């Protein structure tokens, strides 16, 4: 018997016959519903004390005429889920690899291209747009943050330090790819053409806001740019993205779903379920984790004990990569390649982008309370994604100090104008408090609206003046 199994061709033949007899088809989508039809009448053989060995012997014996004693090492067993080899060693897989998963990067800390780096080339046009958008994003965040501090905005959350993740990933995608953001990815919208005015409208919740003033600032959404409205709940967008990917796959579209989340989001149940589902459904979805080291005040050491998020991909059968999130070229390449695989091979991809959250969690947070100002400053200066990429873009002769100052002054002017206009624009009409709850407002909502209007009429001084009735 051992001779049979040792010869690889006859062993595989034997195992194939075994598989066939057991009703196990090829590992395709349809054969998930495997049923084991074990043979009922084992021929007489010597009885082994180990029931598993006995069963294995039995199955093999029904197919081969010779029977002889074999040692446990050379046996395999087709458990539900596929064959596994046995081992006489009692061996626990270590909780972590000796080496952490290495991080893919193209540019060094100073923005010099590494000599042996492999990356997807970007044209001058794309590179310049990438860099400009990174600058725009940074300035937009700065000015909106200041506006909140001045009391003109109620709330804001910046993406400082994560500009490369935002813009480079957007640049590597196509406009048909549907985005399911967390809340720190306005750069993707920016890349796709959302104007500063449109951002401001949402933040001020005025009548030009596509969300009709219903959500808090930074909860952008644009169906025409395939950017799904931010839902504040953490990680709930991950299963949504899997569903969207499933929908794209059903329609046979040349596009994928892309979803972003943070290191904190990877602790949510939805993360695990979504990855599992995506793998089982063979859904074309990119899971991009912005591992920025902090979930409000919780550092990653208190968030998980694994080697970051990248290793979790393998647990679900998902191809994964760790990439330097502050390296725009590396991000671009990783997302570009990931997208290709996702669409071509109908598989999910996990990308862990290592970065640092330079800003506070939001305007309701003061991160100096739980981390040192020096640490923040270091990441802001020494590891700044903008300066690294700028060095590379300039080294190609595509950018200059003049271009920089021109861009910055233009953006500043545009931003201040956008805020001025957004602030002045009146709020959405009161009836929008009740519309879109359903497709048609039902009786109870119409009644409730009448009640509100009656109340406003009798107390006009208590009602804000910029909300039209």
Partner 1 sequence: MAARIHVGAGAATALSTFNSKKLVAPPSRTNLPARSSKRYIVAAAGSDGSKKSLLRVRHSQKLIANAAVATKAETSATTGTGHELLLFEALQEGLEEEMDRDPHVCVMGEDVGHYGGSYKVTKGLADKFGDLRVLDTPICENAFTGMGIGAAMTGLRPVIEGMNMGFLLLAFNQISNNCGMLHYTSGGQFTIPVVIRGPGGVGRQLGAEHSQRLESYFQSIPGIQMVACSTPYNAKGLMKAAIRSENPVILFEHVLLYNLKEKIPDEEYICNLEEAEMVRPGEHITILTYSRMRYHVMQAAKTLVNKGYDPEVIDIRSLKPFDLHTIGNSVKKTHRVLIVEECMRTGGIGASLTAAINENFHDYLDAPVMCLSSQDVPTPYAGTLEEWTVVQPAQIVTAVEQLCQ
Binding residues for partner 1, rule: CB under 8 A, are 29-30, 32-33, 178, 180, 209-212, 214-215, 219, 221-223, 228-229, 231-233, 236-251, 257, 269-270, 273-274, 276-277, 280-281, 435-440, 442-444
| DSSP 8-state secondary structure symbol assigned to residue 378 | H
Q: Tokens 């067993």 belong to which residue?
A: 77
Compute the distance between CA of residue 400 and CA of residue 396 in angstroms, rounded to an integer: 10
What the block records as the tokens of 455 is 């109340």
Rounded to a whole number of angstroms, the minimum distance from the CB of residue 72 to partner 1 is 33
From the candidates 100, 149, 314, 370, which is the catalytic residue? 370
- Please say if 357 is a catalytic residue: yes
Rounded to a whole number of angstroms, the minimum distance from the CB of residue 180 to partner 1 is 7
Compute the distance between CA of residue 329 and CA of residue 106 in angstroms, rounded to an integer: 6
By the 10 Å C-beta count (0-12 exposed, 13-18 middle, 19+ buried), 193 is classed as exposed
The string over 375-400, giving b where at least 16 C-beta atoms fall within 10 Å of a residue's C-beta and e elsewhere, is ebeebeeebbbbebbbbbbbeeeebe
Measured from the CB atom, is 219 or 361 closer to partner 1?
219
Measured from the CB atom, is 187 or 221 closer to partner 1?
221
Q: Are 317 and 323 in contact (CB under 8 A)?
A: no
Rounded to a whole number of angstroms, the minimum distance from the CB of residue 246 to partner 1 is 6
Q: Are 5 and 14 in contact (CB under 8 A)?
A: yes
Rounded to a whole number of angstroms, the minimum distance from the CB of residue 397 to partner 1 is 42
Measured from the CB atom, is 28 or 44 closer to partner 1?
28
Rounded to a whole number of angstroms, the minimum distance from the CB of residue 91 to partner 1 is 28
- Please say if 370 is a catalytic residue: yes
- Residues forming a β-bridge with 321: 351
Measured from the CB atom, is 239 or 265 closer to partner 1?
239
Measured from the CB atom, is 26 or 123 closer to partner 1?
26
Q: Which helix (H) or strand (E) holds 61?
A: helix 51-63
Q: How far apart are the first and last CA of the chain?
A: 87
- Between CA 85 and CA 27, with CA 34 as vertex, the angle to 5 degrees is 65
Q: Which helix (H) or strand (E) holds 286?
A: strand 285-291
Rounded to a whole number of angstroms, the minimum distance from the CB of residue 272 to partner 1 is 8
| DSSP 8-state secondary structure symbol assigned to residue 231 | -
In the chain, DSSP finds a helix count (H) and a strand count (E) of 15, 9
Contact partners, residue 313, CB within 8 Å, separation at least 6: 275, 287, 319, 320, 350
Measured from the CB atom, is 131 or 261 closer to partner 1?
261
From the candidates 105, 192, 361, 390, which is the catalytic residue? 361
Measured from the CB atom, is 213 or 308 closer to partner 1?
213
What ranges in 251-327 are assigned the alpha helix state H?
269-281, 310-315
- Give one DSSP letter per residue of 233-262, joined into a string: STTTHHHHHHHHHHHHHHTT-S--EEEEEE
By the 10 Å C-beta count (0-12 exposed, 13-18 middle, 19+ buried), 355 is classed as buried
Rounded to a whole number of angstroms, the minimum distance from the CB of residue 141 to partner 1 is 22
Rounded to a whole number of angstroms, the minimum distance from the CB of residue 242 to partner 1 is 5
Compute the distance between CA of residue 173 and CA of residue 180 in angstroms, rounded to an integer: 13
From the candidates 219, 357, 388, 390, which is the catalytic residue? 357
Q: Tokens 């994604």 belong to which residue?
A: 385
Rounded to a whole number of angstroms, the minimum distance from the CB of residue 311 to partner 1 is 20
- Between CA 409 and CA 414, with CA 413 as vertex, the angle to 5 degrees is 115
- Please say if 361 is a catalytic residue: yes
- Between CA 225 and CA 285, with CA 179 as vertex, the angle to 5 degrees is 140
Q: Tell me how long the chain is.
A: 469
Cα 411 to the center of its chain, rounded Å: 29
Question: Hey, which residues are catalytic here?
Answer: 357, 361, 370
């Amino acid at each position: 018997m051992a001779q049979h199994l040792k010869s690889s061709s006859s062993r595989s033949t034997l195992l194939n016959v075994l598989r066939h007899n057991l009703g196990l088809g090829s590992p395709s989508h349809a054969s998930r519903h495997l049923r084991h039809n074990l043979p009922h009448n084992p021929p007489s053989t010597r009885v082994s004390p180990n029931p598993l060995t006995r069963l294995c012997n039995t199955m093999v014996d029904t197919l081969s005429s010779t029977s002889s004693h074999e040692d446990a090492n050379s046996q395999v067993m087709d458990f539900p889920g596929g064959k596994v080899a046995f081992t006489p060693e009692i061996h626990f897989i270590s909780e972590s690899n000796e080496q952490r998963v290495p991080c893919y990067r193209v540019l060094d800390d100073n923005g010099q291209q590494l000599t042996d780096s492999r990356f997807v080339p970007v044209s001058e046009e794309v590179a310049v747009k990438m860099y400009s958008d990174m600058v725009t994003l940074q300035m937009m965040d700065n000015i909106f943050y200041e506006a909140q501090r001045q009391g003109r905005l109620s709330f804001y959350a910046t993406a400082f330090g994560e500009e490369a993740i935002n813009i480079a990933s957007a640049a590597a995608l196509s406009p048909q790819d549907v985005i399911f953001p967390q809340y720190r990815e306005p750069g993707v919208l920016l890349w796709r053409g959302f104007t500063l005015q449109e951002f401001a409208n949402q933040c001020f919740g005025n009548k030009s806001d596509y969300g009709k003033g219903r959500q808090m600032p930074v909860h952008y959404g644009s169906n025409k740019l395939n950017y799904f409205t931010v839902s504040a709940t953490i990680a709930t967008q991950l299963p949504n993205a899997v569903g969207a990917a499933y929908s794209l796959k059903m329609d046979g579209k040349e596009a994928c779903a892309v979803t972003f989340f943070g290191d904190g989001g990877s602790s949510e149940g939805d993360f695990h379920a979504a990855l599992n589902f995506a793998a089982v459904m063979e859904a074309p979805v990119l899971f991009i984790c912005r591992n920025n080291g902090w979930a409000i005040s919780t550092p990653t050491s208190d968030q998980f004990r694994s080697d970051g998020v990248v290793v979790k991909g393998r647990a679900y059968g998902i191809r994964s990569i760790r990439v330097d999130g502050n390296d725009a070229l590396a991000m671009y390449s990783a997302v570009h390649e990931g997208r290709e695989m996702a669409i071509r091979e109908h598989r999910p991809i996990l990308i862990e982008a290592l970065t640092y959250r330079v800003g506070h969690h939001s305007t309701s947070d003061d991160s100096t309370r739980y981390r040192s100002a020096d640490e923040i400053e270091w990441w802001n200066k020494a590891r700044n994604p903008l300066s690294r990429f700028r060095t590379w873009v300039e080294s190609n002769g595509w950018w200059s100090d003049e271009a920089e100052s021109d861009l910055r002054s233009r953006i500043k002017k545009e931003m201040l104008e956008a805020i001025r206009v957004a602030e002045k624009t009146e709020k959405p009409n009161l009836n929008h408090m009740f519309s879109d709850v359903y497709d048609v407002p039902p009786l109870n909502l119409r009644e409730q609206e009448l009640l509100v209007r009656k109340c406003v009429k009798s107390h006009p001084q208590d009602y804000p003046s910029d909300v039209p009735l």
